[in-house]
């Protein structure tokens, strides 16, 4: 059980996203990205309802990844933190290579660019999209193995809503650049950490540090869209 | 049946029947539990109308409409604790503050649309949850910044002198909600409504037609935030003490968009339906349907399922009308 627990959890996550990608996502495939994302909101609410019923909050749960700590320049660092950073780097490099060097990755980029034309050129759209969902599920599963080590209260709400501050990095990267997303997320995290120890007259900086992702992403949006953008047939044009 | 529904007198007639029922029949036939639920349904209908108006009429998806709702609730509560201003004035101030903040939120949001707008507004809703938590919402102490340490010490939010009982407050809420719906209708039927329809259809075409899209989008954000803010104040008066951040949380933000889409965003009737789904339907299922508590436990799943079905059905309808690709 011990050995199978971690891959089992990751597989569980991947199977849920695969099921969504295979059965439900194709029903919204012709809609705009917003409607597609609302489809995921629907699934999130559905799963949260089940978790809310099944998750007995009277029994605290935790899932600490096996970890050791050591001190670097008066800072306590855990192996899980190193692993998380390394994992993020591996994902960025790996996914970039996958998208650029493999036929499946090329097909994914083609579908993201123009779904209809890709289908006309013989790309098996449904199968490739299902693979993308499966891959996303694996990545999420891995992240949620590491995450419980960094949060105090482990409940379905905390874990689900973790995605909202994470969106800050994705917005800065405009859902296009994994590298910008990676660095933006690191910067957001570092700023948030630096704001933690403030006290006295500057206590408010510490209190409101969790707003950092919102502030950074709003500033990024203002900068990115400093030229007027209009939307033509679901595509942004400058 | 179809001919009756399409008749031009049907809509005003239906509104008159609902208003008469709400003001004169419902308070005398329902007990305190259902009156409280119906009050909250009226309140939530206004919030749903504000979110639905932004999405259905202007094409702006705001997942953060709980933010002005929460701001209106908080401002009304604080002013009620700190001043002796009449309750309707408190509601108005709550709505105006929410509208100003709604416009400030709208400013960066004006530069983005579609998915980005939805995400930014969702993040702003999350930020509000943080802010309310830090500021120890709902405080409850005396003055503008008094804080009580225990919920049992929380002073009940005062209601208007002429509507202190639950049935009277329900009537008051229905009248205010009706006025807000009327306000929305006036905007939708007038010049802003036509400008919004043009913006929703095509922003480039609207610009080409000389429509000041920035100005009209800001008006939409301000109006929606004002409606939600006043609804927040009404909500504070309805629950009085048992109020918490949960009502304005990230989960509430997504729940709101789910019920708004389930109710329908293209007419103000959809908002009424959304209010029914969110505040009455669950209690009806729990009280009278087989399974009882099951419906309550799985309420989020139920609304998630409803949202998914809505998206699938609307996709089919759009395909049928040739509106996709």
Q: What confidence tier does A238 reach under pLDDT thresholds 50, 70, 90?
A: very low
Asked if A203 is an interface residue toward chain B (Cβ–Cβ < 8 A), one would say no
Q: Is residue B213 part of a domain?
A: yes
pLDDT score of B1: 61
Residue A42 to residue B319, Cβ atoms within 8 A: no
CB contacts, 8 Å: B203 with chain A: 230-231
Query: Has residue A174 been placed in a domain?
Result: no
What is the average pLDDT value for chain B, to the nearest integer? 85
Query: In which band, very low, low, confident or very high, does the pLDDT at A232 lie, cut at 50, 70 and 90?
Result: low
Q: Which residues of A touch B115 (CB under 8 A)?
A: 32-34, 37
**How far is Cα B64 from Cα B249, in angstroms, rounded to an integer?**
10
Confidence of residue A60 (pLDDT cuts 50, 70, 90): low
Are residues A217 and A114 part of one domain?
no
Average pLDDT on A130-136 reads 94
Residue A24 maps to a domain: yes
- Taking 80 as the threshold, does the pLDDT of residue B137 lie above it? no
Mutation pick from B209, B285, B304 vs chain A, by most beta carbons of A within 10 Å, is B304
Taking 60 as the threshold, does the pLDDT of residue B227 lie above it? yes
Q: Which is more confidently placed, A101 or B323?
A: A101
Query: How much is the ipTM here?
Result: 0.82
Note whether A117 and A207 are same-domain residues.
no
Which of B284, B231, B191 is closest to B44 using CA atoms?
B231
pLDDT at A133: 94
- Of A161, A193, A209, the position where a domain reaches its end is A161
Closest residue, chain A, to B135 (C-alpha) = A207
| % of chain A beyond a pLDDT of 90 | 34
The verdict on A119 and A200 lying in the same domain is no
Tell me, yes or no, whether A64 lies in a domain: no
Range of the domain at B130: 31-246
Which pLDDT band holds residue A237 (cuts at 50, 70, 90)? very low
Task: Count structural domains, chain B.
Answer: 1
Each residue's pLDDT tens digit, A193-218 = 888 888 888 888 888 888 888 888 88
Quick: pLDDT tens for B228-260: 999 999 999 888 666 777 788 888 888 888 888
Say which of B303, B311, B325 has its CB closest to residue A38.
B311
B312, pLDDT greater than 80: yes
The number of folded domains in chain A is: 2
Residue A115 lies in a domain: yes
Tell whether A176 is covered by a domain: no
Residue A224: the pLDDT is: 77
Interchain pair B111, A221: CB under 8 A: yes
pLDDT band, residue B5 (cuts 50/70/90): low
Residues of A in contact with B130 (CB under 8 A): 208, 210-211
For residue B22, give how far its alpha carbon lies from the nearest alpha carbon of chain A (Å). 32
Report the pLDDT value the prediction gives residue B26, as an integer from 0 to 100.
Answer: 87
Interface with B, mutate which of A47, A158, A164, A195 (most B CBs under 10 A):
A164
| Pairing status of strand A75-78 against strand A69-72 | antiparallel
Q: Are A12 and A86 found together in one domain?
A: yes
Q: Distances in Å between the alpha carbon of A75 and those of B19, B237, B263? A: 65, 50, 53
Q: Which of A27, A31, A42, A234 to mutate to test the interface with B (most CBs of B within 10 A)?
A: A42
B315:A28 CB<8 A: yes
Q: What is the CA radius of gyration of chain A?
A: 20
Domain of A197, in residue numbers:
181-238
Mean of per-residue pLDDT scores for chain A: 85
Tell if the CB–CB gap between A167 and B116 is shorter than 8 Å: no
For chain B positions 57-86, those within 8 Å of chain A (CB to CB) are: 61
Residue A11 has pLDDT above 70, yes or no: yes
Contact B297, A3 (CB under 8 A): no
A105 touches chain B (CB under 8 A): no
Both A46 and A124 in one domain: the answer is: yes
Tell me: do A25 and A130 sit in the same domain.
yes
Mean of pLDDT values over A83-97: 94
User: Within this chain, do residues A48 and A143 fall inside the same structural domain, yes or no?
Assistant: yes
CB–CB contact B204 A232 (8 Å): yes
State the pLDDT at residue B201: 87
Residues A197 and A225 in one domain: yes
Residue A179 has what pLDDT?
Answer: 94
CA B301 from chain center: how many Å? 21
- What local confidence, expressed as pLDDT, does residue B173 receive? 95
The string of pLDDT tens digits covering residues B88-133 is 999 999 999 999 988 887 777 677 777 788 888 888 888 888 888 8
Once rounded to an integer, what is the mean pLDDT over residues B157-181? 91
Task: State pLDDT tens for residues A28-44.
Answer: 988 888 888 889 889 98
Residues A14 and A112 in one domain: yes
| Contact pairs from chain A to chain B, CB under 8 Å | 146
- Full DSSP string of chain A: -HHHHHHHHHHHHHHHHHHIIIIIGGGGTTS-HHHHHHHHHHHHHHHHHHHHHH--TTS----PPP--EEEETTEEEEHHHHHHHHHHHHHHHHHHHHHHHSHHHHHHHHHHH-HHHHHHTT--HHHHHHHHHHHHHHHHHHHHHHGGGG-SS--HHHHHHTHHHHHHHHHHTTTT-HHHHHHHHHHHHHHHHHHTT--GGGHHHHHTGGGHHHHHHHHHHHHHT-S--EEETTEEE-
Q: Are A150 and A234 part of one and the same domain?
A: no
* B191 within a domain of the structure (yes/no): yes
Q: Three-state DSSP class for B244?
A: coil
B265 SS3 class: coil
Q: Lowest-pLDDT range, A55-59, A104-108, A136-140, B70-74?
A: A55-59
């Amino acid at each position: 059980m011990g050995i199978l627990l971690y891959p089992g959890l990751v597989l569980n996550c991947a199977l849920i996203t695969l099921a969504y990608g295979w059965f439900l996502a194709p029903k919204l495939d012709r809609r705009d990205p917003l409607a597609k994302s609302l489809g995921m909101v629907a699934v999130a609410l559905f799963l949260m309802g089940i978790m809310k019923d099944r998750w007995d909050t009277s029994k605290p749960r935790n899932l600490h990844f096996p970890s050791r700590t050591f001190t670097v320049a008066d800072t306590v660092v855990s192996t899980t933190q190193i692993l998380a950073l390394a994992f993020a780097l591996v994902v960025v490099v790996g996914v970039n290579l996958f998208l650029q060097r493999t036929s499946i990755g090329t097909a994914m980029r083609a579908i993201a660019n123009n779904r209809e034309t890709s289908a006309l050129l013989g790309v098996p759209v449904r199968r490739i999209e299902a693979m993308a969902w499966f891959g996303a599920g694996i990545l999420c599963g891995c992240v949620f193995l590491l995450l419980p080590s960094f949060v105090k209260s482990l409940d379905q709400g905390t874990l689900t809503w973790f995605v909202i501050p994470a969106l800050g990095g994705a917005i800065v990267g405009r859902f296009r650049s994994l590298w910008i997303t990676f660095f933006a997320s690191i910067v957001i995290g570092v700023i948030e950490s630096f704001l933690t120890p403030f006290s006295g007259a500057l206590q408010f900086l510490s209190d409101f540090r969790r707003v950092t992702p919102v502030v950074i992403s709003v500033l990024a949006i203002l900068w990115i869209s400093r030229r007027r953008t209009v939307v033509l047939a679901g595509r942004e044009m400058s | 049946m179809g001919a009756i529904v399409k008749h031009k007198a049907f809509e005003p007639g239906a509104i008159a029947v609902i208003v008469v029922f709400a003001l004169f029949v419902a308070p005398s036939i329902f007990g305190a539990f259902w009156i409280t639920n119906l009050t909250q349904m009226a309140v939530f209908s206004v919030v749903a109308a504000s979110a639905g108006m932004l999405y259905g009429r202007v094409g702006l998806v705001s997942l953060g409409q709980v933010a002005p709702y929460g701001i209106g609730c908080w401002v009304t509560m604080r002013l009620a604790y700190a001043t002796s201003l009449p309750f309707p004035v408190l509601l108005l101030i709550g709505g105006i503050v929410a509208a100003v903040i709604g416009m400030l939120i709208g400013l960066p949001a004006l530069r983005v649309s579609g998915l980005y707008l939805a995400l930014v507004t969702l993040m702003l809703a999350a930020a509000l949850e943080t802010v309310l938590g830090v500021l120890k919402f709902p405080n409850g102490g005396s003055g503008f910044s008094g804080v009580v340490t225990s919920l049992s010490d929380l002073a009940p939010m005062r209601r208007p002198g002429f509507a202190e009982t639950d049935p009277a407050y329900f009537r008051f809420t229905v009248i205010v909600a009706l006025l807000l719906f009327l306000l929305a209708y006036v905007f939708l039927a007038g010049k802003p409504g036509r400008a919004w329809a043009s913006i929703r259809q095509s922003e480039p075409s609207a610009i080409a037609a000389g429509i000041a899209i920035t100005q009209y989008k800001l008006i939409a954000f301000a109006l929606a935030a004002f409606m939600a803010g006043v609804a927040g104040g009404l909500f504070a008066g309805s629950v009085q003490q048992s109020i918490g951040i949960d009502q304005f949380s990230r989960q509430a933000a997504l729940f709101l968009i789910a019920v708004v889409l389930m109710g329908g965003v293209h007419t103000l009737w959809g908002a009424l339906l959304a209010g029914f789904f969110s505040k009455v339907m669950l209690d009806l299922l729990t009280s009278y349907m087989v399974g009882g508590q099951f419906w309550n436990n799985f309420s989020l799943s139920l609304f998630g399922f409803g949202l998914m079905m809505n998206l699938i059905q609307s996709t089919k309808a759009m395909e049928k009308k040739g509106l996709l690709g």
